[in-house]
Amino acid sequence: MTKLISGLHWKTFFGYAVVCLTIFLMLSAFLYDQQYKLLKANRLQREGSTLEQKMRSLQTRLDADRKSIDFLFDVPPISGIVRATQGSGYDAFDETGLAQWKSRLEQIFAAYLTTNHDVRQVRYIGVADNGRELVRVQWEGGKPVAVGAPRLQQKSDRPYFQEMLNLEPGAYYISDIELNREHGVIDFPQWATYRIGKGVFDAKGELFGLLILNIDADSVISLLEYSSEGAYTYLLNDDRQFLRHPRPGVAFSFDLGTPVRWEDEFSREIPSESASWTQVTDKLGEQFHAFAHTVQYSGGIHPKYVTAIKTVNDAGIVAEAQRETAKLAAILGVILFVLTGIIFLLRQANLALGSTSALQARFRSALQNAPLAILVLDQQRRVEYRNESAQQLMPDFGEQSFNMSSIKSAEARTWLTRAFDEVLETGEVLSRELWLDNGTTLDGFYQVLIGPIWENDARPSGAILMAMDMTQQKYYEQELQELNKSLEARIRSRTNALEDALTRAEAATQAQGEFLATMSHEIRTPLNAVFGMLALVRRGHIDGKQASQLDMAESNLTALSTLLNDILDVSKIEEGELQIDPVEYEPERLLQACGVSHSAVARSKGIDLVLDLAEIDGYVVLGDQNRIRQIVNNLLNNAIKFTQAGGVTLRAELRPGQNREEGDADLVITVEDSGIGIENSKLDMIFSRFAQAEASTTRRFGGVGLGLSICRQLCELMHGEITVESEAGKGTAFRVRLPQRMLAPRAAADSAPDMDEEAVLVMTQSPALAGVVSRTLTRWGARCEQLPEAEALAALAAPDHPLHYSLVVMDEACWTANHECLALYLARENGCDAGRILLLERFVDGTQLEADQLHERVQRVEAPVSSRELDLALRSLDPQRYGAVELRMADYCESQGLHIPGASLLMVDDHHANLEVLSGLLEDSGATLHRACNGVEALSVLQSAPESRPIDLVLMDCHMPVMDGYEATEAIRAGAAGARYLEVPILALTAAALKGEREHCLDMGMDDYLSKPFQVSELENLLRHWLADYVVEPESEPAPGSVQPNPETPADAVVMPAGTAETADPPADLESAWDCAGALCRLGGRSHVLDKVLAAYRQAAPDMWTQIHSYMADGSPGKVARAAHGLKGVALNVGAVRVAALARVLELSAESMPDAELLGTVEELHAAIIEFDSISRSGVSV
């Protein structure tokens, strides 16, 4: 048989294969035809049955939902609300108020939603008040929530509301299935709903309200979901529009603007429900089998239906038939393949037997000539094979012996003997590098490997040895190691040289930064003196020419000071010493101050400065307001400097940040101007140091090009960015984005003017200004209309004009040019709703009217125009309508009054101003007050006090000369003042705010602790606690000198200190210079006390600074820190915020500061003291 098969010719074998393939193809075609017919019949029957079952489930669900409203309809609050509403808010039948009925109904609705998750909303809507919702409970945040009254909506304009007005008692209403809407807008994310409702009738049978369930239609539609290849169930409404469709945007397209119907997608009408499967074609030409089933879910005059259409893609049936046929064909093919393979393998095996001998000969030749020494041993250590290399390396190995006497290395012989034995015993592969020497030219290093030879036994039947000559490679490795050592030495030498160069470069950079800082501070010191001298000269009598010369001198000094500040900032940034200090602040107040600070320059150049800050009004954020102020001031300064005509706009908004859930927000500040602009090719270089767009720009406008570089670096330090858009000749827009942490949401505008749909006409030549005014007034409730000036004036002049504007906002120049026309408007618009005019001051006009040139119903809005200025102008224009102008103080600032007659108190402080504060706060308490300037004097006062009137309590400062408060307390507790004071209450009053200060005071023997600055109520509460035996009820008469409420003035209005005068233009950075309201608050509103404290401060602060400067000159930073501590406490008492902040820096860091930085801080402190003196005398407070 084998000989017969081997004699088959290849042509015979090929003919056999063709016959087998033909039979295979014919059988496959037959099997496919039978499978397709069978699968098609079964598939269509199964899909039809499934659709009918799903539609029965859908019908059952719809019937259940229709009945679910009956439970809620019968609960008592439904009828109780009817009776309470008709009973003017009280249900006499159940003795229950309307609010209580609504609360109970909200609880019932919430409990119902908890157990019925498919119901998204339950609403009780009244027919009255345009269909106002009475109660609404809905899912929010994963739980049922009752909607508050402000969010309840009017639904009279909704179609389902109008249809339900015709319901008879007991009748149900079921709406169409559609996307849910809130306030007339499709809810997002989108979800489908249908409403089941029932009318609520009163005792007279009149329709009172509607009970409506909003049911999640998605859960109903999901009943049709069924996973089947090539099949899909469409759902249509009465209008043949899709409620379910596989393609996004088609389902509920009638709600989204472009309805898609069945005939838009398929070639034939909707199949009849009674018909069998129908063949349809979609718009792409693909054929489907379709079967329809319709369900009626609402009866009545206008019944509602939904139709489900199951489509089965013929391609799916074909694919399934092909898969089944493929399975059978595969079995058949395997049989034929096995038979063919057997024949082929038998022939190949016969051929292989013939080629084995030749193959063995080739292998033996390859092994014999291999560059490896190969040796094969059996289990008895007899040599079965060795090639030529092995014969030369180990000639003593005979054909039948295991002899290694030719190898001179004893180590090599020992290892080889042991390795052969171990491999034959364990079967492991062993390898090692050996020196093999037999006295020939083959001596050298060899990589020797000995491995087992396995047959069928559990132990190796033999072992094979392979040895590769590694001598040359060893020489190469040795050379490579020597080269590596040489290279490592050279790299080490180069690295040391680079490190030395880097160290020298860093030292040079540090020296450069220190030099810049030192020089800037050294120059600033005489500059401050020059500024002071110029201020003194201005106080004298000077003529116009001298005033102009002083202006020029101050302008140049300001430019030089700005340059030095920029250089100092650059040096700090380079040295990494510039820190970001986040604080709580209001961005609108900060940017308002920045804008106001540049208003004088804008006014002098005749360009508009517009502040568009309405979008951030009321927000409180956490960020470094000082660095933000520096950035904005730089940008405003550049914008005004490079703008010769037109205007500059400062705009800001808060956008959601990356981590919105954690309160992150991006403060986006934009400064736009209509100046000279920048060419696109120069935009990349403007943020570089000492760079400007053109050399001519430097010659024309000045500057050294540091401002924008500093802005960019400050933005990067705060993890923000700054970008620019510009076009030469058309202006520039800088945009700054800075991440901030939102601390409080936008405050409700309770204190803003209530304009209550007031009609306002806005006409101004500045589109930016018009936008700011319109947005601000609209936020306050006004209806604003912007018209061109000519059209607006015509409307105001026409006596029969149908529109009535109770407020007109216009440019100041427009009033001047059209005074007579506007006077007619004011004369005509009279009465209870008389017309009023706001005039916008614009620097570009160059005109400024005096107060006597204005009508009594005309008010100027000071530039730069902002929401604050508009608020002030409206209140000044009509206080009765918009509220009076007043500054507010927090309610907690009010003193409750302290009366401790007969008590004796000792006040210990080394600063006269602090003693004045305490005296002013306690002068009306009825207590006897004693003073001491240090611990030694305090002990003397205690010892000299009469036996009949001892000191009852000590208010002790901690940091004083001679003897500080800690030492004085220890002495008192040790009996130095007498046994009667061993337990006298000692209260620590200190400006130290370091961590652990309170614990340190208590450990030293003090009884309680109060940190400066403190509220008057805090001091009073402490004294009430420790002097409870002396406390009596306060008298009804007010304390002398205290602030008394005016019946016409709110109780929390701030009263300014005596001797101060209000000014129209407060300094831009006043908010960070003087917290007058806070100081007055801490003094219980006693303005006369603040006068005394301010006087004491003005006397003490310059002397204290002189002492700090003297200590610094003597090289005593520790004394500088102690002196700064005292100045900080005095400054905090009067609200000198900036002075206190700089004093605190010196207190904490004077001993570690470089000399140059210490000098600069001391000089900054001097400037802050001068600034505060000027501001406090002007009397402006924030």
CA–CA gap between residue 398 and residue 391 (Å, rounded) = 9
pLDDT at 354: 63
Tokens 């020497």 -> residue: 437
Higher pLDDT, 313 or 762: 762
582-742 topology per CATH: Heat Shock Protein 90 (3.30.565)
pLDDT band at 742 (very low <50, low <70, confident <90, very high): confident
Look up residue 610 and give its DSSP letter. Answer: E
H or E stretch at 449:
strand 444-453
* Average pLDDT over every residue of 882-897: 53
Q: Which range has the worst mean pLDDT, 304-318, 889-903, 1105-1119?
A: 889-903
Query: CA of 881: how far to CAs of 405, 662, 877, in Å?
Result: 124, 41, 9
Q: Give the angle subtended at the CA of 553 by the CAs of 1109 and 534, to the nearest 5°.
A: 45
pLDDT at 735: 94
| 497: pLDDT strictly greater than 50 | yes
pLDDT band at 114 (very low <50, low <70, confident <90, very high): very high
| 266: pLDDT strictly greater than 80 | yes
| 358: pLDDT strictly greater than 50 | yes
Q: Which residues pair with 244 in a beta bridge?
A: 235
Q: What are phi and psi of 962, to 5 degrees?
A: 65, -70
Q: Which of 451, 453, 457 lies closest to 428, judged by CA?
A: 451
Question: What is the per-residue pLDDT across 24-61, written as a single tens digit (0 to 9) for each?
Answer: 778 777 777 777 778 777 878 888 888 888 888 888 88
pLDDT at 123: 93
Q: Which range has the worst mean pLDDT, 302-306, 316-320, 1159-1163?
A: 316-320
Query: CA of 759: how far to CAs of 96, 755, 767, 835, in Å?
Result: 44, 9, 19, 10
Q: 797 exposed, middle or buried (CB, 10 Å; 0-12, 13-18, 19+)?
A: middle
Domain spanning 18-336, CATH class: alpha beta
* Average pLDDT over every residue of 415-424: 83
| 521: pLDDT strictly greater than 70 | no
Q: 1114 exposed, middle or buried (CB, 10 Å; 0-12, 13-18, 19+)?
A: exposed
Question: What is the per-residue pLDDT across 1062-1079, written as a single tens digit (0 to 9) for each?
Answer: 333 333 343 457 777 667
pLDDT at 1066: 35
pLDDT band at 968 (very low <50, low <70, confident <90, very high): very high
pLDDT at 701: 42
Query: CA of 1128: how far to CAs of 278, 624, 933, 1110, in Å?
Result: 93, 22, 17, 17
| 279: pLDDT strictly greater than 80 | yes
* Average pLDDT over every residue of 239-254: 86
Look up residue 43 and give its DSSP letter. Answer: H
pLDDT band at 527 (very low <50, low <70, confident <90, very high): low
Q: Which of 191, 190, 159, 189 lies closest to 175, judged by CA?
A: 159
pLDDT band at 700 (very low <50, low <70, confident <90, very high): very low
How many CB atoms neighbour CB 686 within 10 A?
A: 20
Does 904-1030 carry CATH code 3.30.565.10?
no
pLDDT at 987: 94
pLDDT band at 328 (very low <50, low <70, confident <90, very high): confident
CA–CA gap between residue 895 and residue 921 (Å, rounded) = 10
Task: Spell out the domain ranges in the chain.
Answer: 18-336, 367-474, 582-742, 759-844+855-877, 904-1030, 1076-1177
pLDDT at 301: 64
| 66: pLDDT strictly greater than 70 | yes
pLDDT at 1045: 37
Mean pLDDT of the chain: 78
pLDDT at 1180: 41
Q: Which one of 2-11, 322-331, 971-980 scores highest in mean pLDDT? A: 971-980
Name the percent of the chain lying above pLDDT 70.
78
CA–CA gap between residue 977 and residue 983 (Å, rounded) = 11
pTM: 0.40
| SS3 state at 684 | helix
Question: What is the per-residue pLDDT across 78-89, written as a single tens digit (0 to 9) for each?
Answer: 989 999 998 888
Higher pLDDT, 797 or 957: 957
How many CB atoms neighbour CB 580 within 10 A?
A: 12
pLDDT band at 505 (very low <50, low <70, confident <90, very high): confident
pLDDT at 396: 62
CA–CA gap between residue 830 and residue 813 (Å, rounded) = 24
367-474, superfamily in CATH?
A: PAS domain (3.30.450.20)
| 2: pLDDT strictly greater than 50 | no
Q: Which of 314, 308, 296, 190 lies closest to 244, judged by CA?
A: 308
pLDDT band at 250 (very low <50, low <70, confident <90, very high): confident
| 162: pLDDT strictly greater than 50 | yes
* Average pLDDT over every residue of 821-845: 71
Q: Which one of 121-135, 309-323, 398-412, 1163-1177 scores highest in mean pLDDT? A: 121-135
- E strands in 172-230: 172-174, 178-179, 181-182, 185-186, 192-201, 207-216
- Give yes or no on whether 759-844+855-877 and 904-1030 have one common fold: yes
Terminal CA-to-CA distance of the chain, rounded, Å?
116
Query: CA of 1094: how far to CAs of 270, 360, 895, 1003, in Å?
Result: 91, 115, 20, 34
pLDDT band at 398 (very low <50, low <70, confident <90, very high): low
**CATH number attached to the domain at 759-844+855-877:** 3.40.50.2300
Q: Which range has the worst mean pLDDT, 74-88, 654-668, 845-859?
A: 845-859
876 half-sphere exposure, CB direction, 13 A CA radius: 17
pLDDT at 357: 66
pLDDT at 440: 66
Higher pLDDT, 839 or 549: 839
CA–CA gap between residue 370 and residue 224 (Å, rounded) = 75
Amino acid occupying residue 1036? S
* Average pLDDT over every residue of 776-804: 80
| 1049: pLDDT strictly greater than 90 | no
CA–CA gap between residue 1143 and residue 1105 (Å, rounded) = 10
Higher pLDDT, 1033 or 350: 350
| 448: pLDDT strictly greater than 60 | yes
Torsion angle (degrees, nearest 10) of CA 27, 30, 34, 39: 70
Does 1076-1177 carry CATH code 3.10.450?
no
CA–CA gap between residue 1047 and residue 842 (Å, rounded) = 38
pLDDT at 941: 94
pLDDT at 434: 81
How many CB atoms neighbour CB 1123 within 10 A?
A: 26
Question: What is the per-residue pLDDT across 619-635, written as a single tens digit (0 to 9) for each?
Answer: 889 998 878 988 898 89
Torsion angle (degrees, nearest 10) of CA 933, 934, 935, 940: -40
* Average pLDDT over every residue of 922-935: 89
The two three-digit tokens of residue 431, written as one number: 């390898």
Question: DSSP readout, 359-428?
Answer: HHHHHHHHHHT-SSEEEEEETTS-EEEE-HHHHHH-TT--SS----TT---HHHHHHHHHHHHHHHHH--
